[in-house]
Amino acid sequence: MRRFGFGTISLLLMVVAPQPSVAQQAPASLASTTILTVDQAEAEAIGQQPRLLAAQLRARAYAQRVREARAGLLPTATLNVTGVRVADTGTSIASGNITTSAVSDRFAYGGNLTQLVTDFGRTGALIGAARSTAEAGNDLATLTRAQVRLNVREAYYQVLGAEAVLRAARAAQANRHLISHQLTELARSELRSTLDVNFARVLESEAELAVVRAQSTVAQARSHLATAMGRAQPITMQLADAAAPAWLLPVAPTDLLPQANAQRADLAAALAQQHAAQQFATSEKKLIYPTLNVLAAGGGIPFRDHTLHDSYAAVGFNLNIPIFNGGLFTARRVEAELEANARAGDVQELKLEVNEQVRDAWYRAQEAFQSLDVTARLVAQSQEALRLAQERYDVGLGSIVELNEAQLNETSAEITAADATYTYLSRRAELDFSAGLLN
C-alpha cells in the first residue's frame, strides 16, 4: 500500500471502505433509486420549464396579431337600439352641427354594415408585418428551447464533474489518512520522526478540506440542475454517467458557420423582425392614399313620432382622401423606414456575433478535447513520480517534503482528469448550441 501511495485510487477503494455518495447521504424520503439520464432531464425541462412555457405562450399571442390585422379586410356589422323621449317634438339640434337633426320621440332598432373596398394595400402590408412578427415569436420560442436544453446539459455535466472530483478527493483523503496512521505507528516505534508525522497530518487535513469543498460544489451543482429542469427542489436521483463522444470535432470552425447561419433561431427571429419592420414601413407609406368603404344601414321604428316612417334603409360609400394633417403621416413613414433600416443593421451585427460565438465555442471545445489526452498522461506521470518518491522515502534517500509534493501533484492530476471529460461535454454542448443543433 505504501508503495503505490494514494495515486492508485482503484486499489485504495478496495482497501478503504467507500464513502457514500451525495445521493446516498440524502434522507430516505428524498433519495430515489431511479437513474436520471441527460435525455430525461432535457425532456422534463422542456415540459415544465417556466421560461420555455412563457415563450410558447408569447408565440401564440403573436399569432393572434395576424387575425387582428386581417379583420380590416372583413365586413364590420353592428346592431343599434335607440330610444328617445322629448318634451317638445318640434325641436331640433342645431348648435355644433352643420346639418340640423330632428329630435323626435322614437324607439328604433337596426344595423350597420361597413366593408372596406380598397386602401391600396395598406391592410395587406399590416397583415404581412403581423405574420412576420408571429414567425419571430416562434423563432424566439425555439431559441428558448435550445437555451433550456443547453442549460440542462451544462448543469448535468457539472454535477457529474463535481461528483467525479468528490470521488477523487475522498480517495485521496482515505489514502492520506492511511499514510498518516502508518507514520504515526512508525514514529511510536522511533522508525520515523515526528516531523514526518506532522507533514502527513497537514496533508490529511488538506484532503479533508478538499472533500468538504467538493461536497459543497456537488450540492450547488445539483441545485443548479434542478433550476435548469424547472424543479423547486434539488435533484437527489443518481445521474447516469456520460462518456466522452467518440466523434471528433470539425476540422475548422468555418465548417460550422453555414449551418449556424441557417439554423440559429435568434438569427431567424432577427430576419423575421426585419421583414416585419419593412412591411410596417410599407403600410405607413400608404397612409396618404385614399380609403374607399361601402356602407349600408337599415332597421325599423315601431314606436315613433308621426313625422317619421316606420322603417329606414340606406346604402352608400365613403371615400376618404387625406389632404393635410400637419406632417403626421410623413413623420410616421420616415420613422418606420428608419426602424426597418435599423433592423437590417441588427441582423448584420447578429451574424457577426453568431460567427464569433461559433469560433469561440469551437476553440474552447478543441482545447477541452485535447486536454483529455494531456490529463490522462499527466495522471500517469504523476503516479510514476509518486511511486519513485515513495521508494526514495522508504529507503531513506528522499525527504518527507519531496514525498508530500509528489502526493499533492498526483492528487491535483487526479482531480483535473476527473473533471476533464465533463468539461469537454459541456463545451461540446455549447458548440452545438452555437451551431443551432439544439433547436
Q: Residue 303 above 90 pLDDT?
A: no
Residue 305 has pLDDT above 60, yes or no: yes
Between CA 279 and CA 226 the distance in angstroms is: 43
- What's the rounded mean pLDDT across residues 180-200? 78
pLDDT at 155 over 60: yes
CATH domain 9-76+120-290+327-434 topology:
Outer membrane efflux proteins (OEP) (1.20.1600)
Beta bridge mates, 317 = 294
User: What's residue 416's pLDDT?
Assistant: 85
Quick check: helix, strand or coil at residue 82? Answer: strand
Whole-number pLDDT of residue 104: 80
Q: How much is the average pLDDT of 310-338? A: 94
Write down the pLDDT at residue 343: 96
The overall average pLDDT reported for the chain is 85
Confidence category of residue 243, pLDDT binned at 50, 70, 90: low
Beta partners for residue 83, in sequence order: 107
How far apart CA 345 and CA 363 sit, in angstroms, is: 27
Nearest CA among 263, 13, 272 for reference residue 138: 272
Confidence of residue 173 (pLDDT cuts 50, 70, 90): confident
For 258, the enclosing helix (H) or strand (E) is: helix 257-263
Q: How confident is the model at residue 201 (pLDDT cuts 50, 70, 90)?
A: confident
Q: What is the pLDDT of residue 225?
A: 96
Model confidence band, residue 87 (pLDDT cutoffs 50, 70, 90)? low
Higher pLDDT, 396 or 257: 257
Query: What is the pLDDT confidence band of residue 196, given thresholds at 50, 70 and 90?
Result: confident
Q: What is the pLDDT of residue 24?
A: 39
User: Residue 197 — pLDDT band, cuts 50, 70, 90?
Assistant: confident
Q: Which of 269-278, 282-291, 358-367, 411-420 has the lowest mean pLDDT?
A: 411-420
Is pLDDT larger for residue 250 or for residue 352?
352
Residues across the chain: 439
| Percent of the chain scoring above 90 in pLDDT | 55
Query: Residue 380, Cβ neighbours under 10 Å: how many?
Result: 13
Confidence of residue 393 (pLDDT cuts 50, 70, 90): confident
- pLDDT at 13 > cutoff 50: no
Average pLDDT over residues 65-84: 93
What does 98-166 look like in DSSP terms, one character per residue? SS-EE---EEEEEEEEEEEEE-TTHHHHHHHHHHHHHHHHHHHHHHHHHHHHHHHHHHHHHHHHHHHHH
Neighbours of 74 (CB within 10 A): 9
Pairing of strands 35-36, 238-239: parallel
Is 2 a residue whose pLDDT tops 70? Answer: no
Whole-number pLDDT of residue 346: 96
Burial of 417 (0-12, 13-18, 19+ CB in 10 A): buried
Can you give the pLDDT at residue 49?
Answer: 93
Burial of residue 349, with CB atoms counted within 10 A of its CB: 0-12 exposed, 13-18 middle, 19 or more buried: exposed
C-alpha cell, 104: 323626435
**DSSP one-letter code for 94:** -
Grid cell, residue 63, equals 399569432
pLDDT reported for residue 19:
39
- Among the listed ranges 89-98, 231-240, 406-415, which one has the minimum average pLDDT value? 89-98
Q: How confident is the model at residue 131 (pLDDT cuts 50, 70, 90)?
A: very high
pLDDT at position 6, please? Answer: 31
Rank 8-12, 95-99, 184-188 by mean pLDDT and report only the highest: 184-188
Candidate from 36-50, 126-140, 286-300, 413-427 with smallest mean pLDDT = 413-427
pLDDT of residue 315: 95
